[in-house]
Amino acid sequence: MTTNEIKQASRLFRLFIAVILVVVVGATAFFYLSPRSNAVVTDTNLYLPTGANYTTLLDSLGRSGKIIRKMPKFRNHAMIAGLYKGVHPGHYRLRKGMSYREVIAMFKHGHQTPVRVTFNNIRTLPQLAGVIARQLEPDSILLVRTLLCDSVAQTYGFTSATFLGMFVPNTYEFYWNTSPKGFISRMKKEYDRFWNRDRTARLDSIGLNRTEAVTLASIVYEETKMSDEMPMVAGVYMNRLRNGMPLQADPTVKFAIGDFTLRRILRRHLDVESPYNTYKHAGLPPGPICMPSIRAVDAVLHYKHHNYLYFCAKPDFSGYHVFSATLAGHNRNAQAYARALNRAKIYR
């Protein structure tokens, strides 16, 4: 063979080998990536923390047959797809019967499954941090530091006293690895969405701004959990505000003392010096005393118009209240409730 023939034969041989390699790799890839390949053994929620790498992923998936049917296939596919170069942290929902291709694409491109985050009945920002930390990746310490940072509250137009009112209790979808500031930023958007045109119009009609409405709603929410009664309670406080009377709301005293378990407010409790003590200071307190429910806020916006200035818990402990327009009538109701507390041996 001439030199040219040898060179040509060599090129053909290398081309043949290359074609064989392409076919083998392609066949292998097809085998591993086939949509019909049954990779996931059982429905699984997988959480990859921030900073996780490919080794972390393999450790999370565990041994063959536990989550992934055949881990050697998974690792081979990872080499083909380049997954070993990096994975995205987050929450992933692996569904039984998913293929290797689907699973790897999920981790490679960060196709997270959102988690549902619910919070309500919150009284303080640290309590909110604890609830969120049980549902999202950031720990409660980091969340508390961020939530209690004055500059963070100011960024969104709030003070440390009013910041709790920005968080509207509900159920939301988040990516599990959302940062504390990402969580807060999302909550500001939800807050602005909550205050839609209709609610804003109601604010104008009752003469309160957003923060004032939420603050009053927090008192209403602490006074009664009965949704049908909330507009009546809100009406009492609106009457007092209009008449220049102190609100004299027992829940604000509990907040000032820092003891939410009190069932009886005694005279010594009323002496606590605090801007939240509405027996001593007229008008609304500096900020909300809890995170009011949406129904409580709407109850303030649609408060019941009446002439009542007082209300007292019913002595049957039903959770409802009796209302009165005069102090004499209120004193009779209060005495009846006090006797009921004594009979039940409730002294604090």
pLDDT in the model for residue 247: 97
CB 165 within 8 A of CB 288: yes
CA of residue 166 relative to chain centroid, distance: 12
Cα–Cα distance measured from residue 273 to residue 270, given in angstroms and rounded to the nearest whole number: 8
**Is residue 174 classed as helix, strand or coil in its secondary structure?**
strand
DSSP 260-289: TT-S---TTGGG---TT-TTTS-S--SS-S
Q: How many CA atoms lie within 13 A of 81 on its CB side?
A: 25
Whether residue 279 contacts residue 209, with contact meaning beta carbons closer than 8 Å, is answered with no
Whole-angstrom Cα distance, residue 197 to residue 185? 21
Two tokens at 347?
């002294």
d(CA 234, CA 304): 7
How many Cβ atoms are within 10 Å of 227's Cβ, its own excluded?
Answer: 12
Is the sign of the CA dihedral 136, 140, 146, 149 positive or negative?
Answer: positive
Per-residue tokens: 144: 């508390």
Domain map (residue ranges) of the chain: 24-109, 115-194, 207-343
Cα–Cα distance for residue pair 334/332, rounded to 1 Å? 5
| Residues written for the chain | 348
The answer to whether the beta carbons of residues 117 and 79 sit under 8 Å apart is no
How much is the pTM?
A: 0.85
Residue 300 buriedness (CB in 10 A; 0-12 / 13-18 / 19+): buried
Q: What is the pLDDT of residues 115-159, one digit of tens each?
A: 999 999 999 999 999 999 999 999 999 999 999 999 999 999 999
Q: What are phi and psi of 287, to 5 degrees?
A: -170, 180
3-state secondary structure of 91: strand
CA distance 56 to 83: 12
Strand-strand pairing, 44-48 and 90-94: antiparallel
- At 246-282, the pLDDT tens digits run 999 999 999 999 988 887 788 888 889 999 999 999 9
pLDDT of residue 174: 98
**Over the chain (348 residues), what is each successive 10-residue block's mean pLDDT?**
53 47 45 62 94 93 88 91 92 95 93 96 96 96 96 97 98 97 98 97 96 98 96 98 96 92 84 94 96 98 97 91 94 89 77
List the Cα angle 259/261/267 in 5-degree steps. Answer: 65
Q: Are 216 and 303 in contact (CB under 8 A)?
A: no
Q: Are strands 321-324 and 310-313 parallel, antiparallel or unpaired?
A: antiparallel
What DSSP character marks residue 114?
A: P
CA 6 to chain centre: 73
Contact 78, 54 (CB under 8 A): yes
Nearest residue to 175 via CA among 103, 105, 117:
117
Q: Which value, in Å, is the radius of gyration of the alpha carbons in the chain?
A: 31
Helix axes 230-243 and 210-223, enclosed angle (nearest 10): 120
| Angle, vertex CA 38, rays to CA 35 and CA 42, nearest 5 | 130
Residue 156, amino acid: Y
